[in-house]
Amino acid sequence: MKTHTILMPLDMHLHLRDGVMLENVAPLTAYSFSGGIIMPNLVPPVNTLEDVKAYRARIMAAVPNDFFEPYMTLFYRNYDKAFLQSVADEITAIKLYPAGITTNSEGGVSSFDIEEMRETLEAMSDLEIPLCVHGETDGFVMDREAEFMSIYELLAKNFPKLKIIMEHITTKDAVEMLDKYENLYATITVHHLLLTLDDVIGGMMMPHLFCKPIAKRPEDLDALLSVALSAHPKVMFGSDSAPHPQHKKESCGCAAGVFTAPIALQLLCEIFEQYDKLDNLQDFVSDNAQRIYGICPEFKEITLEKRPFVVPEHYSSVVPMYAGEAINWAIASVD
């Protein structure tokens, strides 16, 4: 049987939520990943030192049987330097959401006035705290990410030493930005390496494939595949696995988010094998992130094998991507 081994896989964009949902989903990621960047869009958002420490403790309590490093983040607002100094050792990054652009982002940034943001972003730059960004405007849905490129350029030019991560990129425009600015990096989800808008709404409307940013055009998918499969050194895997209870997905007013945590590595193997690029998967799913973030996860070895695996219909209240369908790779062992 064909097998493939990955060392210390990292999920550089992960929603673990809180309470019962945290207890349901955190073990699924902790089983097969060494660590992940934990998104702070809780209600209320994670924006104090106490919030970070307490949330980290709740995550650790939810994964008692696995070694898993939660790389914590703060929800961006204009913080002063003294505060950032006091919290720097507890966080790996700060996540910026434009106000109201996605789930629980109401308290995000409502105007990208560089002078208003300067103190915070300069302090982050000095303290070497990366800025993770949900890069969408409130424009026409297919153009939101492309319209945000001018804001990425503004940030990249004004803060050349600040590491800026363009989160869950979905467009050729974003891919092209990677080689224009030294300090711009990106995460890519597994679902955006598989889907276009056609898969989401082109036939039946598929609520479990609906997320923000929405999957785009075939040429965008090709551009994402080209940088992921070649493990472009500025690109990392970040699942954006975003669990919502089934009733919030299968209802009028479907919540945005695709739940991929338990099948992400298997799907990545399938995609990279399909294009004969399995040799590049280690860089995409771990080594690039280790280098970009300067992190050093503890040893974990995941072996996958090529055999059909039927994705469960549910993980408690959450329906995963490809529920009930067979995928081609399965996890064989975790050491």
Active site residues: 240
What stretches of 128-263 show up as alpha helix (H) in DSSP? 144-158, 172-177, 197, 218-229, 246-249
Contact criterion met (CB below 8 Å) for 72 and 61: no
Q: Pick what 297 binds: Zn ion, ligand DOR, none; C-beta below 5 to 8 Å, kind-dependent.
A: none
CA-based R_g, the chain, Å: 19
Closest residue to Zn ion using C-beta atoms: 240
**Smallest distance from the beta carbon of 15 to ligand DOR, in angstroms?**
5
Helix (H) or strand (E) holding 120: helix 114-127
- Copy the structure tokens of residue 222: 């090709």
Does 257 sit near ligand DOR (CB under 6 A)? yes
Question: 73 has which bridge partners?
Answer: 93
Q: Candidates 6, 12, 15, 56: give the one binding ligand DOR (CB under 6 A).
A: 15
Residues 6+ apart with CB under 8 A from 255: 103, 244, 248, 249
Cα–Cα dist 142/128, whole Å: 33
Is residue 256 part of an annotated ligand binding site? yes
**Smallest distance from the beta carbon of 44 to ligand DOR, in angstroms?**
14
Is 47 or 280 the residue whose CB approaches ligand DOR more closely? 47
Cα–Cα dist 206/199, whole Å: 8
First to last CA, the chain: 19
Contact criterion met (CB below 8 Å) for 87 and 52: yes
Residues 6+ apart with CB under 8 A from 61: none
**Smallest distance from the beta carbon of 335 to ligand DOR, in angstroms?**
31
Considering only residues 212 to 231 of the shown chain, the ones binding ligand DOR according to CB under 6 A are: 212
Does 209 sit near ligand DOR (CB under 6 A)? no
Task: Write the interaction track for Zn ion spanning residues 230-249; mark x where CB under 5 A is met and - where it is not.
Answer: ----------x---------
Does 45 sit near ligand DOR (CB under 6 A)? no
Is residue 95 part of an annotated ligand binding site? yes
Does 93 sit near ligand DOR (CB under 6 A)? no
Is 145 or 240 the residue whose CB approaches Zn ion more closely? 240
* Omega before 213 within 30 of 0, i.e. cis: yes
**Smallest distance from the beta carbon of 103 to ligand DOR, in angstroms?**
4
Q: Candidates 87, 242, 271, 295: give the one binding ligand DOR (CB under 6 A).
A: 242
Task: Write the interaction track for ligand DOR spanning residues 127-166; mark x where CB under 6 A is met and - where it is not.
Answer: -------x--------------------------------
Name the 3-class secondary structure at 154.
helix
Q: Maximum distance among all alpha carbons in the chain?
A: 58
Does 187 sit near ligand DOR (CB under 6 A)? no
Cα–Cα dist 323/314, whole Å: 7
Task: Write the interaction track for ligand DOR spanning residues 258-297; mark x where CB under 6 A is met and - where it is not.
Answer: ----------------------------------------
Cα–Cα dist 155/323, whole Å: 39
- Copy the structure tokens of residue 119: 């103190």
Phi then psi for residue 24, to 5 deg, are -75, -45
Does 63 sit near ligand DOR (CB under 6 A)? no
Is residue 41 part of an annotated ligand binding site? yes
Is 240 or 287 the residue whose CB approaches Zn ion more closely? 240
Annotated binding site for Zn(2+): 13, 15, 95, 134, 168, 240
Q: Which residues bind ligand DOR (CB under 6 A)?
A: 15, 41, 102-103, 134, 211-212, 242, 256-257
Q: Which residues bind Zn ion (CB under 5 A)?
A: 240
